[in-house]
Amino acid sequence: MILGLGTGSTAKHAIDRIAELLRIGKLKNIVGIPTSSITHEQAVSLGIPLSDLNAHPILDLAIDGADEVDPQMNLVKGRGGSLLREKMVEAASKKFIVIVDESKLVSHLGGTGLAMPVEIVPFCWEFTLRRLEMLFIEAGCVGKLRVVRESSEPYVTDNGNYIIDLYFKSDMGDLKEASDAILRLAGVVEHGMFLDMATTVIVAGKLGVFVTNK
């Protein structure tokens, strides 16, 4: 099985479990495709065989967490900084399982008031930030350059890019239109909306675990 390995706290636990099952022989013939340098390092340390999209352009399954999940199983991802590679790997997967706790469920994307990340090239990043804000001026959008924690230095992705975190005061509107508008801006590499990609969402809550399939 060719398996996409996500990034973040939820994915970390899943990767630990995959490695354990491999060690005891309950899983065999697994090849992982990591979505970040952090995930790559974790998988190597656990002895999980790895490859990449060049060798395996179609994956059987990807497993990851999410920052937000709406009722249509659309996602916001990338607050951990790995949105581009996550989207490349998970878009290439036949099945994409998302594991979250119930705090990640929202009525609409951007509804938590937390960041919707956009990966951009470093060149004239302030210009790109202003253009992103103007796209969603009616939604009260404010963009902020992501910086390294306890620093004023820009956060740099595995791909050498910057991240602009967008904050919305109201609904951003039609998600497909919003996605297309963001991607049309020169200087934008990718955004953190994962639309119509998840095939299964597993939600852990106070009343138990709930599974939704598409």
* Residues labelled as active-site residues: 86
- Bridge partners (DSSP) listed for residue 201: 98, 212
Instruction: Answer whether 68's CB lies under 8 Å from 115's CB.
Output: no
Distance CA 136, CA 139 (A): 5
For the sheet containing 2-5, what is the strand order?
A: 31-34, 2-5, 59-64, 93-101, 200-205, 208-213
DSSP H helical ranges for 113-171: 125-135
Q: State the alpha helices, DSSP H only, in 34-143.
A: 37-46, 83-91, 125-135
Q: Which residue has the tokens 């620093």?
A: 151
Show the tokens assigned to 64: 């990851």
Q: Which amino acid is at 206?
A: K
For 193, list phi and psi in degrees, rounded to 5.
-85, 125
Residues 2, 58 contacting (CB under 8 angstroms) = yes
